[in-house]
Homo-oligomer: A and B are copies of this chain.
Amino acid sequence: MTTIEKVLTRIDADLENSLSRLFDLLKIKSISTDPQYAPDCRLAAEWLAKELTSIGIDATVRSTSGHPMVVGHRKSGKSGPHVLFYGHYDVQPVDPLDLWDADPFEPKIVTREDGTKVIVARGSADDKGQLMTFVEAARAFIAETGDLPLDVSVLFEGEEESGSPSLHPFLNANKDELSCDLALVCDTCMWDADTPAISVMLRGLVGEQITIRAADRDLHSGFYGGAARNPNHILANILAGLHDETGKVTLDGFYDGVIELPDTVTKLWDELGFEVAKFLGGVDLEIAAGEAGRSALEQVWSRPTAEVNGMWGGYIGTGFKTVIPSEAYAKVSFRLVGDQDPDKIRDAFRAYVHSKLPADCSVEFLPHGGSPALRLDFDSPALAKGQKALTDEWGKTAALIGCGGSIPIVGDFKSMLDMDSMLIGFGVEDDAIHSPNEKYNLKSFHKGIRSWARVLDELSQD
């Protein structure tokens, strides 16, 4: 038996314990966007630091002005690249809670009608289940061989779902400690439940919350209606004007830096056999609603977007209140691709909002996030090794794909630490991340652990 075979055998034998540890982590309500859960975020960080240390990776909880980081190191002295593994322990809010079939923080294994076993809990797929695949792979490697095959550092973040406000200062203050040869990031998806993937394109994100203010108080719509500005109307007009009739975003200069895919990549994507009817039909939709003339895969992987993630104004309770509110609000985000500049997009949005604002009204902006898109070099040697490891584990060629979601840290690793990232994750399309009844396939968790063991092994080869 080779070393990696022994490690894989140990992983299989220890699966029940691995699950039990994951459940302990999933029970912690580490919702980073809501200040009331700050103590839970710290608890999750402490749990992870203790866990890492117990398996031989010296780890500490590192305070920030927001939620803490967890940093760990284990030097093997081996000749291969020094890798930094990244994941995030924070999770999305759980509302609307009444759409969950069970408590989001009481994880359970559910067997679906098709026999698939899934782990149901908030954070199971995004990202606690994913980060624990690496922790468990490292545990098995050290337990079986007495060491890791490479120098390994670990960085777990607690603000990924809330715009990572502490990330820049933290990376800046710890550049030497965190700069490695390669980052391994586990927060992405496979191509499908049986086909592993490495994400080579990752969209960036710019978010803005806007507050439109008109009258200095809420008004009676009978008394003032017709003469007084209604900020709901102003806001609706702003939001409706973000897209033209072909689905393109109307902001000035929005498409500056957007790159058309080379033919080689479009050919690879064509061969993936993506079924738009299945993708959208899975959530009870039919029509790809984005830019005209673009495939759905382009719309979610290689094209930029503008989305209204939240909007509200006036009376939103039970019954009716004939009010003209004094304020209306929206949370708007833009997914960026290619070389789109987050600052320029933010400026263009603010200029657009001002251009739509009547003279006697005002607007306030609250920025959120701001990360450029990322592309990984197709010729990277690490990419070839990662692809081989995944192909060996899953018995299918690992796909090189795009990913519509944003992982700001990957851009920061590049810009601040000059470090490339290899994005390997085991999520699947119907994981319902950010939604009620989020789940992670048990197969993803199990073979995810095995995959990381293989990746570490491959990367340590000459």
A: residues with CB less than 8 A from B are: 32-35, 92-93, 95-96, 99, 161-163, 189, 203, 205, 207, 209, 214-230, 232-233, 235-237, 239-243, 276, 279-280, 283-291, 296, 299-300, 303-305, 307-325, 328-329, 331, 333, 335, 358-360, 368-369, 403-406, 429, 432-436
A404 B223 Cβ-Cβ under 8 A: yes
B207 A320 Cβ-Cβ under 8 A: yes
Given known contacts A226-B335, A227-B280, A311-B328, what 7 new A-B pairs fall within 8 Å (CB)? A214-B285, A217-B435, A220-B405, A232-B307, A232-B311, A308-B314, A323-B434
Q: Assuming A221-B309, A308-B236, A432-B217, is B318 touching A280 (CB within 8 A)? A: no
- Residue with the highest number of chain B CB atoms closer than 10 Å, among A189, A289, A368, A405: A289
Q: Which of B233, B284, B316, B329 contacts A216 (CB 8 A)?
A: B284
B217 A317 Cβ-Cβ under 8 A: no
A296 to B226, CA, bound (A): 8
B280 A319 Cβ-Cβ under 8 A: no
15 CB < 8 A contacts A-B: A33-B317, A162-B320, A163-B319, A207-B320, A216-B283, A223-B405, A227-B280, A227-B290, A232-B309, A236-B308, A237-B240, A309-B322, A311-B316, A316-B329, A320-B331
A215 B283 Cβ-Cβ under 8 A: yes
B317 A34 Cβ-Cβ under 8 A: yes
Q: Assuming A220-B434, A320-B162, is B289 touching A315 (CB within 8 A)? A: no
Q: Assuming A322-B333, A331-B314, A333-B320, is B224 touching A404 (CB within 8 A)? A: yes
A233 B225 Cβ-Cβ under 8 A: no
Q: Assuming A163-B320, A290-B227, A300-B227, is B315 touching A309 (CB within 8 A)? A: yes
A359 B322 Cβ-Cβ under 8 A: no
B296 A227 Cβ-Cβ under 8 A: yes
Q: Which of B189, B309, B324 contacts A309 (CB 8 A)?
A: B324
A309 B323 Cβ-Cβ under 8 A: yes
Q: Assuming A93-B315, A314-B309, A320-B369, is B333 touching A433 (CB within 8 A)? A: no
A312 to B283, CA, bound (A): 21
Q: Which residues of B contact A229 (CB under 8 A)?
A: 285, 287, 289
State how many angstroms separate the Cβ of A37 from the closest Cβ of chain B. 11
Q: Which residues of B contact A434 (CB under 8 A)?
A: 218-220, 321-323
B243 A233 Cβ-Cβ under 8 A: yes
B300 A310 Cβ-Cβ under 8 A: no
B33 A318 Cβ-Cβ under 8 A: yes
B232 A305 Cβ-Cβ under 8 A: no
A225 to B314, CA, bound (A): 27
A370 to B284, CA, bound (A): 34
Q: Which residues of B contact A360 (CB under 8 A)?
A: 280, 284-287
A228 B285 Cβ-Cβ under 8 A: yes
Q: Which residues of B contact A33 (CB under 8 A)?
A: 317-321
Q: Which residues of B contact A235 (CB under 8 A)?
A: 236
A330 to B81, CA, bound (A): 56
Name the residue on B nearest A216 (C-beta): B284
A299 to B223, CA, bound (A): 10
A414 to B316, CA, bound (A): 33
A312 B309 Cβ-Cβ under 8 A: no
Q: Which residues of B contact A328 (CB under 8 A)?
A: 311
Q: Which of B283, B303, B325, B369 contacts A228 (CB 8 A)?
A: B283
B358 A289 Cβ-Cβ under 8 A: yes
Q: Which residues of B contact A311 (CB under 8 A)?
A: 232, 236, 311-314, 316, 328
Name the residue on B nearest A303 (C-beta): B226
Name the residue on B nearest A35 (C-beta): B318
Q: Which of B216, B233, B284, B404 contacts A239 (CB 8 A)?
A: B233
Name the residue on B nearest A241 (C-beta): B240
